[in-house]
Chains A and B, each alone.
Chain A
Amino acid sequence: MLAYLIRRLINAVLTLLVVSLVTFGIFFMVPKITGSDPALLYIGKTSDAASIEGIRVKMGLNDPVLVQYGKFLKGLVAGRDYVSGPEVTHCDAPCLGYSFKTEQEVTPLLMSVLPVTLSLALGAAILWLIIGVSTGVISALRRGSLLDRTVMSAALFGVSMPIYFTGLIASAIFVYQLGWLPQGQYVPFLESPSEWFTQLLLPWITLAFLFAATYARLTRANMLETLGEDYIRTARAKGLPERVVIGKHALRSGLTAIVTVFGLDLGALLGGAVLTEKVFNLRGLGYQALQAIQGNDLPVILGVTMIAAGFIVIANLVVDLVYGLIDPRVRLA
């Protein structure tokens, strides 16, 4: 198990390194292709040549690519100093540079919006996991029944509805028509837990609806497969009550595949639920990413990408570990 763990960890670090390399490559190449000068983007077109050159030096834009990448990595791990003449600006680790637009440090900027995305993603995840898995299991057990067919049709509907559609419809009904839920802004949990909750409820439900549909279908398929396994027949032949056969023997293996998908979905969402954030006007990572893309704000794009990649890699790692815990064949291989 230890070797397995270490191998996974090294894998994770390597993946992050590759991601950083690729994103940095893009960061470096995009201005070349579009013909825009990062220094210009940063300081604005009206500046004189001397101050542009100053920026160049300060940002290290004149250095060879590898040196730039090295500095970027160092910034991530140990922080970095931007020197322009006598003036030294220190950027703490993990340093993702400065926004072209606002000249803010990227790391604190993203950290400030992270709670929004975290709240959104985690809340929705809990919701869709409970709803999706339980309906999936029930559908599998009542295969072919009216309930099964209804739930599965609903799930198909859910899977095929784009989030901006369901999101807008839901807001229109619950916020504007019925007035059951407030319209407005994200409220930090620590400020007011109840407002945090009511503000997020609709985004949660909308997002969870989409995922719950997928999970219900996936759970149903997995459960049906597991229920056909020989060891389920053995469990029944032992005289175990059906509740133990399903709840213990079938569920444990039926849900392992869900763990993988769930880890990856959650990891991906934590990097920013772009559409949902946009629809509900939540200023999280996804929203930031959108802003940055529209404004050609490369350091922010790079930052969001790194954070998103980090979440996915971590999620992957956790999934692998959980898998090892659930399945002794993986652990003892």
Chain B
Amino acid sequence: MSENLLEVTGLQKHFPITKGLFKRQVGAVRAVDGIDLNVVAGETLGVVGESGCGKSTAGRLFTRILEPTGGKIVFEGEDITHKSVTQMRPLRRDVQMIFQDPYSSLNPRHTIGTIISAPLQIQKIPTPQGLKKAVQELLELVGLNPEHYNRYPHEFSGGQRQRIGIARALALRPKLIIADEPVSALDVSIQAQVVNLLEDLQSEFDLTYVFIAHDLSVVRHISDRVAVMYLGKVMEIAHRDDLYKNPRHPYTVALMSAVPVPDPVRRDSAQRGRVLLTGDVPSPINPPSGCRFRTRCWKAQDICATEEPPLVQRLDDPDSHLTACHFPVVDDEAVAGRAPAATPA
């Protein structure tokens, strides 16, 4: 079964840049600049990429917190691209967001009970067992003590606050949860606890996740499919194992090879095999012509500057594995930096 919960085509978000006395628009930050992807019901789609590549903006577009500049968003067969706030309200039940910063995303003046029950009250969801009981059940679900109902956010640690954020997102029993770097601010042991919790909740409630992160290892662990973004575009998207075992896009290869290997014995081979990208990510205001990665790509040729490579199936990949590159990395290519992924230890 591969029913698409969310379908996105040519999605764009350009933030205008104004200048001068009269705030004339002189350009735009092309934060998201034409992405196509779909999210299948029940799966976890991981979205990775470096800072500023447009991951958060994309997440905010999916939930329609932001209004797209172009393209189309279809949720459960319904076009929601330009729905107004009121038109979106019934849909808010189905799509929820979890944020990175467990400190600023909870109102410090409200008790946990108030925070978690707010979406229930706004949406006027009946709670036969009573509002307080409903919230306490949610608290228990995310591994918090139900007696902490009347406490304030500052009384909780980072990991606990993230659990509160998850409980709030779960309150409406959504179908889709967009998690924007939900574990990035947490310590590794707490991060693992939250990852496990998200996985448990997913199987219990048939949730679908879009999991945004910059940590490739965490994304690999939790995702079924993974999309790699660079400068507002999807460079490569594939099933997890296809992507991590056969990365096709030079950027994906570089990204993976940069991840430090927690094994001192392998350190030398890892370092030898590393692709060190040079230079900085270009500005999303003036992205390079043709392929956006060409300014840092070691495989770039003339055509890369003139023709933008479409995101399509390449080589002998399965048709779920799409790559936007004219010269995808071949399996046995002696690329420095092939991630040492496949081999079990």
A interface residues, Cβ below 8 angstroms from B: 3, 6-7, 10
Closest CB of chain B to A131's CB: distance in Å? 38
Pairs across A and B, CB under 8 Å, 5 listed: A3-B20, A3-B21, A6-B21, A7-B21, A10-B21
A contact patch SS: helix
A10 to B20, CA, bound (A): 12
Contact with A along B192-236 (1 / 0, CB 8 A): 000000000000000000000000000000000000000000000
List the A side residues contacting B21 at CB < 8 Å.
3, 6-7, 10
**In the complex, residue of chain A having the shortest beta-carbon distance to the beta carbon of B19:** A3
In chain B, positions 20-55 with a C-beta closer than 8 Å to chain A are 20-21
Closest CB of chain A to B271's CB: distance in Å? 29
List the B side residues contacting A6 at CB < 8 Å.
21
A7 to B21, CA, bound (A): 6
List the A side residues contacting B20 at CB < 8 Å.
3
How many residue pairs link A and B with beta carbons under 8 A? The number is 5
B interface residues, Cβ below 8 angstroms from A: 20-21
A3 to B21, CA, bound (A): 8
A10 to B22, CA, bound (A): 11
A281 to B21, CA, bound (A): 46
Closest CB of chain B to A4's CB: distance in Å? 11
A70 to B21, CA, bound (A): 26
A247 to B20, CA, bound (A): 37
**In the complex, residue of chain B having the shortest beta-carbon distance to the beta carbon of A10:** B21
List the B side residues contacting A10 at CB < 8 Å.
21
**In the complex, residue of chain B having the shortest beta-carbon distance to the beta carbon of A3:** B20
A3 to B22, CA, bound (A): 11
Closest CB of chain B to A142's CB: distance in Å? 31
List the B side residues contacting A7 at CB < 8 Å.
21
**In the complex, residue of chain A having the shortest beta-carbon distance to the beta carbon of B20:** A3
A194 to B111, CA, bound (A): 65
A10 to B21, CA, bound (A): 9
Closest CB of chain A to B285's CB: distance in Å? 15
Closest CB of chain A to B301's CB: distance in Å? 37
Closest CB of chain B to A7's CB: distance in Å? 6
A6 to B20, CA, bound (A): 10
Closest CB of chain B to A8's CB: distance in Å? 11
**In the complex, residue of chain B having the shortest beta-carbon distance to the beta carbon of A6:** B21
Closest CB of chain A to B312's CB: distance in Å? 42
**In the complex, residue of chain B having the shortest beta-carbon distance to the beta carbon of A7:** B21
Closest 4 CB pairs of A and B: A7-B21, A3-B20, A10-B21, A6-B21
A6 to B21, CA, bound (A): 8
A3 to B20, CA, bound (A): 7
Closest CB of chain B to A332's CB: distance in Å? 14
Closest CB of chain B to A134's CB: distance in Å? 37
A20 to B21, CA, bound (A): 23
Closest CB of chain B to A298's CB: distance in Å? 36
Closest CB of chain A to B158's CB: distance in Å? 21
Closest CB of chain B to A275's CB: distance in Å? 38
A74 to B275, CA, bound (A): 71
Closest CB of chain A to B268's CB: distance in Å? 32
Closest CB of chain B to A314's CB: distance in Å? 20
**In the complex, residue of chain B having the shortest beta-carbon distance to the beta carbon of A11:** B21
A10 to B270, CA, bound (A): 60
Closest CB of chain B to A157's CB: distance in Å? 33
Closest CB of chain B to A15's CB: distance in Å? 15
List the B side residues contacting A3 at CB < 8 Å.
20-21
Closest CB of chain B to A69's CB: distance in Å? 26
A6 to B22, CA, bound (A): 12
A3 to B19, CA, bound (A): 10
**In the complex, residue of chain A having the shortest beta-carbon distance to the beta carbon of B21:** A7
A3 to B23, CA, bound (A): 12
Closest CB of chain B to A125's CB: distance in Å? 33
Closest CB of chain B to A6's CB: distance in Å? 7
A3 to B18, CA, bound (A): 13
A188 to B20, CA, bound (A): 46
Closest CB of chain A to B20's CB: distance in Å? 6
Closest CB of chain B to A174's CB: distance in Å? 50
A7 to B20, CA, bound (A): 8
Closest CB of chain B to A5's CB: distance in Å? 11
Closest CB of chain A to B164's CB: distance in Å? 29
A7 to B22, CA, bound (A): 9
Closest CB of chain B to A296's CB: distance in Å? 42
A271 to B20, CA, bound (A): 32
Closest CB of chain B to A276's CB: distance in Å? 40
